[in-house]
Amino acid sequence: MKNFRTHYDTPHILTVTVSRPAALNALDNETLDGLREIIQEVYQNDETRGIILTGEGEKAFVAGADIKELSVLNAQEALALVEKTHRLFKQIEDCPKPIIAAVNGFALGGGCELAMACHMRIATENAKFGQPEVTLGIIPGYGGTQRLTQLVGRGKALELMLTGDMITAAEAKTIGLVNHVVATHADMMTLATSMLTRILSKGPLAVARVIQSVNAGYSFEADGYSAEARNFAALTTTADFKEGTTAFIEKRKPNFTGK
């Protein structure tokens, strides 16, 4: 499938690699649609019992959304995009088969949100996490306002989202965003495979019900996700959003006016 590589290095454990290295594996519409097809197949395929999700190369897991594609959306298109992505990331979060995000390099914006939708996260020492959307005049739109708060707490989540700062893998582990940090890509894949192998030795119905029970405490129907989608879409109509995305594409600092 375009933009992805999938394979089984270990029986029943599917490795899914986002493969757009020239774009730092950014999530454009085509990539989101491809990921949805893969996740739907995972639900239906009895051969697959656990998933490792990672990114091509050493530079990025997923660097974020595709800013050029995002910058031309109107409010209606932006709302449709975030609602579609909410549904996809919810499919990942609710998957009865454990999914580990193996994070190498940048996991920013939509990339961080994708990693947070997975059940667990393992990172290499060079990984960087962040929700820098405010630097573009927008907010996290793929569930970040909700999942980051759930994982690290309200105060730290607000700090990260309001400053747009990146944090290291070590800090991400300290605040509870990451489960484990290892030295190299090979170490990361080895640990992810080992964790899934241990999990898959347990009763699959019990594993699925643990995931379901934990997720029940963070209902997707809660209004926070709807508020995020509406606010994201509304901000695409502002001059600040146009300035922020244009500055990003032109590789300069934005000049926000609050309009």
Residues noted as catalytic: 113, 133
105 token code pair:
């390099």
Question: DSSP labels for 61-106?
Answer: EE--B-HHHHTT--HHHHHHHHHHHHHHHHHHHH-SS-EEEEE-SE
Which residues in 54-69 are b (16+ Cβ under 10 Å) and which e? bbbbeebbbbbbbbee
Are residues 101 and 114 in contact, defined by beta-carbon separation less than 8 angstroms? yes
Alpha carbon distance 135, 190 (integer Å): 36
Are residues 67 and 245 in contact, defined by beta-carbon separation less than 8 angstroms? yes
Are residues 148 and 109 in contact, defined by beta-carbon separation less than 8 angstroms? no
Are residues 7 and 15 in contact, defined by beta-carbon separation less than 8 angstroms? yes
Strands (E), the chain: 4-10, 13-18, 50-55, 60-62, 99-103, 106-108, 120-124, 128-130, 166-168, 180-182
